[in-house]
A and B are shown apart, each in its own frame.
Chain A
Amino acid sequence: EVQLVESGGGLVQPGGSLRLSCAASGFTFTTSGMSWVRQAPGKGLEWVSYISATSSNINNADSVKGRFTISRDNAKNSLYLQMNSLRDEDTALYYCARSYSGIYYGAFAYWGQGTLVTVSS
């Protein structure tokens, strides 16, 4: 069974930093592209970052470029999101999502339950 378990969320002041983690199991993590997708309270979904299986391809939404860094440790079956210079508008539930394989890598096949990040003074 595919499992994605996010952690690391919490309350942080504007300008602060936070590191999210996603522990993956039940599938071959080392061959799977992964993304972070967020959802502000009561709002829709927003793709944040993508990293390919070997970390050779990384893409970020303009809203987080220069502030967020996606990474992974295939030896630990883990995905990360380093979030710096946090803003009020970054407040959201952050989901870890596994990409479909091959040409469908832009489709999110499985999602975790999310970890809540609240940016507030």
Chain B
Amino acid sequence: EIVLTQSPDFQSVIPKEKVTITCRASQSIGSSLQWYQQKPDQSPKLVIKYASQSIPGVPPRFSGSGSGTDFTLTINSLEAEDAATYYCQQSSSLPWTFGQGTKVEIK
């Protein structure tokens, strides 16, 4: 099973700052990495697929990069509505697995 480790676990950020969340895979997964946003009491929402591919309807301040074992989700100019927990997920091999989550709080 591929283990995904996110860092940090928690981040407190002021509006308009840039947020960077990393996800490291226990083995190479190519570009088969997704990012999800989960706001409190809501279901997850896909924000980036296949490491760097944007999703229609997701604001362009969300971007992804990386390949192999190291990936990054960047939120440029954070807005209050971006407060959420973010999860990475690999679809390279079964079982599909998620990172432990990174909670982003607005200061």
- Seen from chain A, the residues whose Cβ lies within 8 Å of a Cβ on chain B are 37, 44-47, 50, 59, 61-62, 95, 100, 104-114
Contacts and interface: CB of A to CB of B under 8 A. Distances in A.
Interface residues on B, range: 20 to 34
Contacts of B98: 44-47
A47 B95 contact: yes
Nearest to B38: A45
A45 B49 contact: no
B87 A108 contact: no
9 contacts: A44-B87, A45-B101, A50-B96, A106-B34, A106-B96, A107-B50, A108-B44, A110-B46, A111-B44
Contacts, number: 58
A98 to B, nearest CB: 10
A93 B36 CA distance: 17
Nearest to B91: A106
Contact of B49 (A46, A107, A113): A107
A106 B44 contact: no
B32 interface: yes
Given A45-B44, A107-B49, 18 more contacts: A44-B87, A45-B38, A45-B89, A46-B98, A47-B95, A47-B98, A59-B94, A59-B95, A95-B44, A104-B50, A106-B32, A106-B96, A107-B34, A108-B34, A108-B44, A108-B89, A111-B43, A111-B45
B9 to A, nearest CB: 11
A20 B101 CA distance: 26
B65 interface: no
B50 A114 contact: no
B100 A95 contact: no
Interface in B23-46: 32, 34, 36, 38, 43-46
B97 interface: yes
Interface in B50-73: 50
B100 A44 contact: yes
Contacts of B49: 100, 104, 107
Contacts of B99: 44
Given A44-B100, A106-B91, A108-B36, A114 B43 contact: yes
